[in-house]
Structures are given as structure tokens and as C-alpha cells.
Structure 1
């Protein structure tokens, strides 16, 4: 979907939290600046020249976006740090003159932030366009050209998927043994689990992610989502068994539905379900450009740690993980439990 960085703080932060995109942007944009303490810094006067706007325009955005710009690196230098920084620069690009007791500086990240919000500048508009192109290229390069299975690059995915598989078997066995209903029950109650965890049924989920009929929805789910699904499946299965044995018969449809209704308000499940919703909604929008409308209230910016997890050196394809003896040892421990 098209992104308007000037109006979307979420889209801006998702880019600015992506260290790999920032490294490529710094290399290719060539915006200038001065290195100080291994960080590229810009003065307000440099931003005036870079974007072709007045000093008062920069001040206006500093006031209107102060929290965001500070989060992304804008700060004020004073004392020894200011003297050291001034010693590296031509006085003409220092905002307040050589005798000023303080100087506001923008990191490269904060400078990009300013380019994303500055609507008065054609140069900022061109930089925004270049930013979006480079971010797309970086994502494609680091994920092998697609993001459908970016979830599987998480080192926690395989153990979570294996555990969920086991709990899924316990759940379907419970449906077999304790629910008086035909085979249609498997699809119905799978969708009830999905709706309880992330408010969508399987078909809705596949449509949002543009999955084909042959694609497995669970193969694309994040570890945290699989853990939430497993928690619900395991809890419902145990409750079905207990209630059926107490009654001395299989359960009726309404009785199992009542268990699901109770699970929706279960305080023990609430934290894990809310975490799964935040992870799914935020990551799918940030990584897959997929919007879960029913989870819009849970969307947050993707944290820097997630970019490391899914794009960084520690992230590996499923094939690489399966060849790792340590991962295989984890599977053996799970199997032997």
C-alpha cells in the first residue's frame, strides 16, 4: 500500500528503526554532515541548506515534532562536547555563532526524520521518494526477495511451531473424543481459535497476506502467535476432557462454545493474546505491508530488536536452521518431553 511519510508517524518510525535501511541510506544519499564520536551530525544551518527552507521552518518542525525528533537523535550539545564539535566544523554552518553556549544537532536518523515530515521542501520530497525505494530494496535483499515466510527467520519459530503442532494434536483429539459433532467441527473450531487469538478466521487471514489455497496459514505465523494459539488449544482441550468426564458423555456444541466464550475473558490468557495481536498487526504492516483491519488498535512501530531478529545476522532461513545441530537438539528435547 502507498505510504505517505508526512502523515504517518508509524511508517516513519518503522523506517527509522531499521538499522539496515539506515546504513544503506547513509551510504547512498550522501547528505553531508560531520562525524563526531562515530556519528554523523548535522546543524540546523546545514538542514536549512540541504532542504532549501528557512531557519524558521526548521524551528517550526522542531516545535511540532519535538518528541519524535528527540527520539530519533536530535539533541543539544553543551560544554566540552560542544567545543569538540565546533572544532571539527566551519563556523558558517553553526547555527548560533561560535560563542553560543549550546547547539542543537541532528543525527542522520533525525535528519531523515525531518525529511519525512517537511512538506514545504521539494528536496525533502525527493529524499522521501528515495528513502522508500531504498527501504524496499534492503528488505528484498535481506529476505531473499519475499516476506511471506519472514516469520521463519526468527530463531524461536521452529520450537514454537513444533510445540504448537503437539498442542494442535491434543486439541483435535479432544474434538474427536469429547464433542458430539461431525467432521466439520475441525474447521469450525480452528477458526474459533484464530478468532479468539487474532480476531480473524483462516480465510480472512489468507486474504490479508495474499496466500494461496495451498499455503498453510500457520507456516506464516510468528512464534508469539503460535504460542498464543497453542495456549488456547491446550487449555480448551483440557477443559473439554474434564467436563466430558464429569458429565459422563460427549459435550454438545453449546457447551464447547461456552468454553471458548470463557477463554476470551480469561485473565491468564489475556497477556499472551494481546502480545500476539501486537506482534502480528505491527510486524505484518511493517514487514509485509499487510494491514489487519480488525487489529488496527494493536498496531505499533516495529522495534529495532525485531529488525535484528528478522533481518540481522542472527536471522537465518528455515533451511539453515534445520541444518543446525543445536536446533535439532531442541527438537529432540521437545519430542522427549
Structure 2
């Protein structure tokens, strides 16, 4: 994983977008810095001292990873802002030159970002190791140690799960009423929907998440994926009914498969399918260390909002949600619809 941090912008950004990990890192790493604009700020000289590197090395990384470092808080101070900083940092800028008219400074995030990039620094290597330990500790603490069901900490999971269950019934009823075949058709057609949405069948998905036979696949799915599955099931059930009634008899399984194939290609669903693939692939790799190889092209850095969703104040275990009277009231309203 250490090598991944130096090579993968997504792996680096997944740490930098996790404010809970950053809070712990700031507390435990004790890198120093100067408090400026509510953030710890480091001069180039301070960063050189932290990582035991020279000016040329920093400049090389600032050039090769300019956008990434700027996005994570590296900036150049000029004019009034620089004068404010000089006054605040009085006595610490001897190596930068007190008369300089521009000064590059690193936020705490940018220092960590650089530390995850540097390959020629032993202190940077140690920092990466400590960061990974901190991230793991935070994940265990915030998730209660159950990342397999981290999806359920989303406040929208319960409603999405319940609604999907309702549309699942519509879909199985449509298979009964409008499609020929034996009991195996339920699993086969469910797998077709899964492959349309995230390119894996149930067996493949189960293996990637290391689920036991007794584990429910849908209990591990994110709310957005469940909602898209529900939308597919509802729409396909309707198409089965329309096609069967037009034909005057049940559809063959080949005819039903063609309907699902055409449904997947509908332009209405394309952005939703892409979004579901990005969320599943990116979140599972970040939170569950599970790689969906067929979705590898969709992996992105997990946004800060997702860390709030699954680790933040609003995130709660399913048991906690079910013990909340307000949540139960919403659940009852859905049931009564």
C-alpha cells in the first residue's frame, strides 16, 4: 500500500479527503507549522526540514504535481497576505528571506500530499506508514469494525432497501406472470440486471466482498445502487407485461433477455449506471479494500461528502437507526404506501 500512495493519485486523495483521518494525523504526527487562516501552514524550509530534502527536490515535485498539490492547499502568498504571514511568522523566515515578495506555503494537507509523493525521503516513507495506520484505526473506530456493512451507515440506506424490496416483488411477479421458465429464471434474470448495472453476477460480487453463503448481497449494497436496481426491476416488470399482453402469451426467456438488454442501452439510464459503477468501485476499494476488476476503469477518489456519509455525525449503524423513533416513523410511512 505504501507503493500505491506514491503511484496512485486516488489512494492519496482518499486519505486527504478523509477529514477524520487528517484530524488524527495532525494530532499524532506533530509536524509543527504556523496557524494561519485557521489552518496549519508550513514554509518550504520547514517542509525541507521535515522530509530531509533539498530545495531542488521540492521544486521538482511542485512542477510535476502542480495541480494536485495546489488542490490540497499549496499556495503562493503575495502582497498584503504575505505581509500578514510575515508578521505572524516573525523570526521563522530567516532561510526564506525576510524581504521576499512571494512565498510558497504548504497547508497541512499539502505537506501530507507531498509526503505521499516523495520516494527519496526516509521520513516521508515513515509518514506514509503512520498515515496508513491512522486511516485504518479511524475506519475501525468510526465503522465499529464492520466495513462489510458500512453501506448501512448511510441515513438513506433503510428507505432505499425497503423500496427496492417492494420493486423486487413486482419484478418476481412479472417473471411469474409474463415469462416462461422454471424456478431458476429468478436467479438468472437477477444476474442479468446485476451485469447490466455493475458488470458482475451475484457469485462474482459475493467473492469480491468475501461474503459468506448466509450473507445477503443486497444488505451490502449502497443506497444509490439499490435505488437503480429498483428502477430496473420496476421498468422491466412493466416492459414484460406490455410485451406479453401484446403477444397474447408468456414471453420466452430469450425475448425477456432481449428486453433487459435493450433496457440497459436506453440513454435515460446511462448516466445513472455510470454513477452507480463509480460509487461501487470507488467506495468498495476505499472502505472495504475490495477491488471490482471489471469496474476498475470507473475508480475515482472518494469525495469528502462520502466520508461524512459513512463516517460522520449523521452516519449510524443499522441497529442505532432502527432504535430511533423518527427513523421508525419514516419506515412505517413507507410501509403504508
Query: TM-score scaled to structure 2, two decimals?
Result: 0.97
Post-superposition shift, 1:264? 1.7
Partners of 2:326 and 2:275 lie apart in 1 by 27
Partners of 1:59 and 1:157 lie apart in 2 by 46
Post-superposition shift, 1:63? 0.5
Change (3 A) 1:11 1:202: same
Partners of 1:131 and 1:283 lie apart in 2 by 19
Structure 1: where are the runs of 5+ without partners?
Answer: none
Residue 188 of structure 1: aligned partner: 188
Residue 81 of structure 1: aligned partner: 81
**2:144 matches 1:153:** no
State the SS of the aligned residue for 2:6. coil
Change (3 A) 1:119 1:2: closer
Partners of 2:252 and 2:32 lie apart in 1 by 70
Query: TM-score scaled to structure 1, two decimals?
Result: 0.97
Maintained 8 Å contact 1:12/1:113: yes
Partners of 2:334 and 2:115 lie apart in 1 by 49
Partners of 2:91 and 2:78 lie apart in 1 by 16
Residue 292 of structure 1: aligned partner: 292
Partners of 1:61 and 1:145 lie apart in 2 by 36
Residue 310 of structure 2: aligned partner: 310
Q: Report the aligned-residue RMSD.
A: 1.2
Partners of 2:157 and 2:94 lie apart in 1 by 50
Count matched residues: 337
User: Where do 1:263-278 residues align within 5 Å?
Assistant: 263-278=263-278
User: Where do 1:42-191 residues align within 5 Å?
Assistant: 42-93=42-93, 96-191=96-191
Residue 256 of structure 1: aligned partner: 256
Post-superposition shift, 1:274? 1.2
Maintained 8 Å contact 2:2/2:129: no
Post-superposition shift, 1:92? 4.6
Partners of 1:166 and 1:133 lie apart in 2 by 42
**2:218 matches 1:218:** yes
Residue 229 of structure 2: aligned partner: 229
State the SS of the aligned residue for 1:106. strand
Partners of 1:264 and 1:134 lie apart in 2 by 41
Maintained 8 Å contact 1:231/1:269: no
Post-superposition shift, 1:335? 2.2
Maintained 8 Å contact 1:75/1:106: yes
- Structure 1's consecutive aligned runs of 4 or more residues displaced over 3 angstroms after TM superposition are 90-96
State the SS of the aligned residue for 2:5. coil
Partners of 2:176 and 2:3 lie apart in 1 by 47
Structure 2: where are the runs of 5+ without partners?
Answer: none
Change (3 A) 1:244 1:2: farther
Post-superposition shift, 1:100? 1.3
Partners of 1:318 and 1:2 lie apart in 2 by 33
Q: Deviations along 1:122-174, whole A, 9 cap, x unmatched?
A: 11111111111111111011101120000000001000000000000000011
User: Where do 1:23-34 residues align within 5 Å?
Assistant: 23-34=23-34
